[in-house]
Structure 1
Amino acid sequence: MPQSDNIPNDILIIGAGVLGLCTAVELTRRGHDVRVVDTGVSNASSVAAGMIAPILEAVMDRVTPERAVLMRDARSIWDGFAKGVGIAIHPAKTFWAGRQTTAMNKAIEQLEIQPGSVTDEGRVSVMSDVLIEPGPALAAMRSALARPVIKAWVGSVARTANGWKVATGQGEIEARTLVLATGASKPMAGLPPEVARLIARIQPIRGQIGSVPDRTDAVLRGLGIYVAPSGEGAVIGATMEPGRRDLEPDAAAGRQLIEAAEQLLGRPVARPVEWRVGIRGATPDGLPMAGASGEPGLYLALAPRRNGWLLGPLVARVVAEAIEGEIQDGGAGSPHAAALDPRRFLTR
């Protein structure tokens, strides 16, 4: 049985990916009694390059200026969040090394959130896009919690007189408030129908990434490809395959990524390549679901598409403010709460 079995908790978070752990850290800092339950298996947050890249992501996705500001603001939260948890931010130089350099630089300027600059080699340099190491970052957030993550499968949830009861492989856990940070998973048994319908709108997107013993000092990006420093080597990625949930690496996709990476680098990529696959979640408008679900005591921190690491602390802040009632009571909540509100999909 988990230590918390039959003991009412303030807040229970299901899921220990970047959104779940960021939210747990934020709520712990605010003085809440927080527990996290997670399967302990690899998730999309651990199978990631760890790029915090508001500028190039905004340009490649051709977002509106308003969404570009949201991404910039998410980046600005990271410095204080990382310092408080002990996460190292690596200011690796980031370059657009693909084609259409002039158009890319113009697109960056049109966002009006940060100018780019063209290097002597004809690349666009972006200074605010940085890196973290996902494995150490996840470990640092776990260590920042007051109590260890409960390793268990979650079978179902049920409303109780005082909140929620969660049935796990280690027993039942009760909490007054429940936060679902379950990635691209399908709706679990026992959820209220409206919440289940919200989660069912999340599309899985399969992403394949490779680790190579090939050190690079800068992040190089092009259309559908990046090469980024990671530990003693580099990572190459990543595919974006909507609708797929299978986790077996695809040899053909791997060859395409290697070929594209070699074009960026201008040289062969060192072997061997260790391939990994993660399943991201994405909403119809590309932004996460963060905040109240519409069901009392039930909150969501889900579906950041490929920007989980960038948006993690912002999602955490929005969810914490919703739980504490700051927005509803007229407090100074995040200006981006409405854009992330899960209930925006209930009327569509």
Structure 2
Amino acid sequence: MSGSAGLAADVAVVGAGALGAATAAELAAMGARVLLIDRPGSPNASSVAAGMLAPAFESVLEEATPERAALLKGARDLWPELAARTGVELIRDGAAWAGPEPRKMAERLRTLGFKARLKDGKAFTSDDWRLVPSQALAALIDAPGVRYRRAQVEGLERSGDGWELACADGEPSRAARVVVATGVHKTMEGPRALKRTLARVSLIKGQIARVRVTPPPCVLRGEGVYVVPDGTGVLVGATMEPGQRDLLVDERVITELIRRASVLWPPLATARAQWARAGVRGATPDGLPLAGEIEDGLFAALAPRRNGWLLAAMIARITTASLSGRKPDEDALRFSPSRF
């Protein structure tokens, strides 16, 4: 996968969230010289997340078809190999439905092909896993062969046998090929194909809080809220606020989120947030990311909506295959940037 020897990298990946960092690690494992560039300052949406690899409950709560559920489960199943290679720690303690009608929830999970049983009055599945976003991002960014740079990429332009990336700090980078893995930065200048791709991405703000309370034994899910064990506390999330791109935390929203979460985990009833954060996710009309070639030498790996961590290993594999010139398989076609 080697590009021109005169360029700084074979591939530059713009954006070090779950999709970008996983793609960079996958490309490096294939032998490419990879430059991973992420903007300084505000944390990306993947770091403002609970890190759930949750095909089971995401499928049920999103009313997915059996085909979509199988796709999400397949995405989760690609994680053990990537995790073993990069040092990402996977936590496989399952998840439980603490909302109403647990028996019906268990039936819905089984209908979609997931393991489910009643446990302590809740619908429990071992098919949902999780990771710690901070640990996972650090492991992927530090993967062998990945060179990491903090810079705001303001534009892309063809230059000789590759691309020049104009950066806000005045120091451009050059690479044979580029993967755009940030769907929030819609002002990035570049070819028309890039602008058309970014125009398809809508924005969804999400707010999440950490609360220092005794954690439950596994992830708890309910209608529009979740509780995730986090060391000596829990993560409570997350809102879905379409069209919003600010990173401001609304204390009233957080208070209401914790109140709703206390129905799932009563110790939260008298607790207050230790901290709260906001992130902005990219999304497409059908809820699946864009992954693959935009035009010659320019690729996308972005807009995963609320399933960035779950889909990261699959998007990394698909993007790497596209860069290698392999014919897209059925899964890859579902994520093609040209599908809209």
Interval of TM-score (by shorter of Structure 1 and Structure 2): over 0.9
Indicate if the aligned counterparts of 1:157 and 1:164 stay in contact, CA closer than 8 A: yes
Q: Which moved more, 1:198-207 or 1:311-320?
A: 198-207
Change (3 A) 1:335 1:265: same
Deviations 1:77-132 (A, max 9, x none): 11111111111111223101111323322221221x2231112x321001011111
Indicate if the aligned counterparts of 1:24 and 1:145 stay in contact, CA closer than 8 A: no
Q: Aligned residue for 1:194?
A: 193
Task: Tell me the SS of whatever aligns to 1:46.
Answer: coil
Structure 1: gaps (5+ residues): 1-5, 328-332
Task: Tell me the SS of whatever aligns to 1:138.
Answer: helix
Task: Tell me the SS of whatever aligns to 2:175.
Answer: strand
Indicate if the aligned counterparts of 1:55 and 1:108 stay in contact, CA closer than 8 A: yes
C-alpha displacement of 1:66:
1.1
Q: How does 1:171-190 map to 2 (within 5 A)?
A: 171-189=171-189
Indicate if the aligned counterparts of 1:152 and 1:170 stay in contact, CA closer than 8 A: no
Q: Aligned residue for 1:237?
A: 237
Q: How does 1:52-201 map to 2 (within 5 A)?
A: 52-111=53-112, 113-119=113-119, 121-168=120-167, 169-189=169-189, 191-201=190-200
Structure-1 separation of matches of 2:81 and 2:138:
18
Q: Which moved more, 1:261-270 or 1:133-142?
A: 261-270
Structure-2 separation of matches of 1:272 and 1:32:
43
Change (3 A) 1:269 1:11: farther
Change (3 A) 1:290 1:187: farther
Indicate if the aligned counterparts of 2:184 and 2:203 stay in contact, CA closer than 8 A: yes
Q: Aligned residue for 2:323?
A: 323
Indicate if the aligned counterparts of 2:34 and 2:147 stay in contact, CA closer than 8 A: no
Structure-2 separation of matches of 1:215 and 1:336:
40
2:339 to 332, 340, 344: 344
Q: TM-score, normalised by structure 1?
A: 0.92
C-alpha displacement of 1:246:
1.1
Q: Aligned residue for 2:274?
A: 273
C-alpha displacement of 1:256:
1.2
Indicate if the aligned counterparts of 1:95 and 1:125 stay in contact, CA closer than 8 A: yes
C-alpha displacement of 1:272:
4.0
Q: Point out 4+ residue stretches in structure 1 off by more than 6 angstroms.
A: none
The one-letter code of the counterpart of 2:332 is A
The one-letter code of the counterpart of 2:210 is S
Q: Aligned residue for 1:282?
A: 283
Structure-2 separation of matches of 1:128 and 1:215:
24
Structure-2 separation of matches of 1:250 and 1:172:
37
Deviations 1:163-215 (A, max 9, x none): 211111241111110000013221411x2223312211111100000011113
Paired residues in the alignment total 331
Structure-1 separation of matches of 2:323 and 2:121:
48
Q: Aligned residue for 1:34?
A: 34
Structure-1 separation of matches of 2:289 and 2:12:
20
Q: Aligned residue for 1:16?
A: 16
Q: TM-score, normalised by structure 2?
A: 0.94
The one-letter code of the counterpart of 1:311 is L
Task: Tell me the SS of whatever aligns to 2:147.
Answer: coil
Indicate if the aligned counterparts of 1:17 and 1:183 stay in contact, CA closer than 8 A: no
Structure-2 separation of matches of 1:338 and 1:314:
12
Structure-2 separation of matches of 1:241 and 1:65:
27
Structure-2 separation of matches of 1:73 and 1:147:
26
Structure-2 separation of matches of 1:93 and 1:62:
20
Change (3 A) 1:87 1:270: same
Structure 2: gaps (5+ residues): 1-5
